[in-house]
Amino acid sequence: MPAPAIGLSTQIFNNKLKSGILLAGFPVLLLLMTGGFVAGMDAMTQSAAMHYTNAGLDWHRSLNTGIDGVKQYGHWAILAAGGWFIIAYFFHGQMMRMATGSVPITHQQMPRLYNTLENLCISRGIPMPQFELIDSPALNAFATGINQKSYKIVLTQGLIDSLKDDELESVIGHELTHIMNKDVRLLIISVIFVGMISFFCHMVFRMLVNGGRRSRSNDNKNGGAILLLALVILMIGYLFAIVIRFALSRRREYLADAGSVELTKNPEAMMRALLRIAGNDTVAGMPGDVQQMCIENSHNFMGIFATHPSIGDRVQTISAMTGTPIPERTAS
């Protein structure tokens, strides 16, 4: 069980460092995937030609073609990805609204929320983010944004209706901690990267698999090996992006729980809120990448990998950290 206690300045530094690593490593990963794609296409071209000639596949040529492809097309791939990243970076708020159906809410509409948030922000001397609402009976919440002007806390209607005031304060404190720790900026960057890599991999996978049928029809082992190598390179890129996403999700939830307890001085309310949310977190129609940003995501990736620690583990951690007994799940 990871210890939740960690200095705010340390967490902010770590998140900035991770953001820098993501930004620096993504072009390298993209170039590797581009080379794998070009090499695979060359191998398929040679394999298709073998149907009419007796020549064998020149795998050295395919590898060299992949290297040449990086030199010839790599800068275009990076420019295209950079353009998409800039668009997503500046318009991610609108994209989030389209993906989740959230709408902005004002202080006049929800004074309960804003008064709670104002007290928490005053205690830390930080500006207030805005609220948005998802019209869903599910119990969930997430924070989004890249800077003070765009930070938002998004809550479901079900969460607002179901939680007591102190429990709702704990959830708001949890999401506010994500903002203070700069988790949100790091998550937005990772979501953008995973989205681009996923799109690229799905597109290339279809092209290589469809073309690879001709390679298999020629029963050429070398052609199949090159095609397999290209697919492996693409899958490594995709899985690497997913692993980054998981690594960013699990520990940050413990830290945000601890941050909320520190803000509210009410560990029991945080535990009660998590127990109420457990099993009621799924927002119908919400994309998986956004669901992974929420305070709880009970659905595992591919049914195998959990993106969040279990509610039970999180409640146990809060209890052990504060010496507070775990409340009953049926507490009203």
Catalytic residues: 175
Cβ atoms of 44 and 37 closer than 8 Å: no
Element (H, E) at 249: helix 221-264
CA atoms within 13 A on the CB side of 200: 29
Structure tokens at 17: 């460092």
Region of residue 144 (left: phi > 0; alpha: psi -120 to 50; beta: else): beta
Alpha-carbon distance of 101 to 107, in angstroms, equals 20
Give the closest residue to 30 by CA, choosing from 281, 269, 200: 200
Residues 6+ apart with CB under 8 A from 112: 160, 165, 168
The helix/strand/coil state of 184 is: helix
d(CA 132, CA 112): 14
- DSSP H or E run through 153: strand 152-156
Q: What is the bridge-based pairing of β-strands 141-144 and 130-134?
A: unpaired
**Minimal CA–CA distance to 185: which of 9, 5, 12, 8?**
12
> Is 211 within 8 Å of 226 (Cβ atoms)?
no
